[in-house]
Amino acid sequence: MAKKIRKLISFDWAIKKILRSKANFEVLEGFLSELLFDDITIREILESESNKESKEDKLNRLNIKVKNSKDEIVLIEIQYNGELDYLQRILYASAKTIVEHIKEREPYAKIVKVISINIVYFDLGEGDDYIYQGTTSFRGMHNHSLLKLTANQAELYKTEKIENIYPEYYLIKVNNFNDVAKDTLDEWVYFLKNEEVKESFKAKGLKKAKEVLDYMKCSEDERLEYERYKESLHYQASMYESTYVVGHLDGEKKGKQAEKIDIAKKMLQRKTEIVLIMEFTGLTKEEIETL
DSSP, res 139:
B
Q: Which residues contact 103 (CB under 8 A, 6 or more apart)?
A: 110
Q: What is the pLDDT of residue 207?
A: 93
82 — pLDDT class (breaks 50, 70, 90): confident
Domain layout of the chain by residue ranges: 11-217, 226-289
Q: What percent of the chain has pLDDT over 70?
A: 84
- C-alpha distances in Å from residue 170, one per residue of 192, 224, 287: 15, 33, 54
Q: What's the whole-number mean pLDDT along residues 118-136?
A: 93
25 vs 245, more confident: 25
Model pLDDT for residues 99-113, shown as the tens digit of each residue = 999 988 899 989 999
50 — pLDDT class (breaks 50, 70, 90): very low
Model pLDDT for residues 191-245, shown as the tens digit of each residue = 999 989 999 999 999 999 998 888 767 777 777 777 777 776 665 656 555 555 5
Q: What is the pTM of this model?
A: 0.73
Residues 41, 45, 48, 52, CA torsion sign: positive
Whether 97 and 50 have beta carbons less than 8 Å apart is answered as yes
Q: Which residues contact 183 (CB under 8 A, 6 or more apart)?
A: none
Report d(CA 40, CA 20) in Å as an integer. Answer: 16
Identify the burial level of 4 via C-beta atoms within 10 angstroms of its C-beta, where 0-12 means exposed, 13-18 middle and 19 or more buried.
exposed
In one-letter notation, the amino acid at residue 200 is S
Closest among 94, 59, 101, 97 to 78, alpha carbons compared: 59
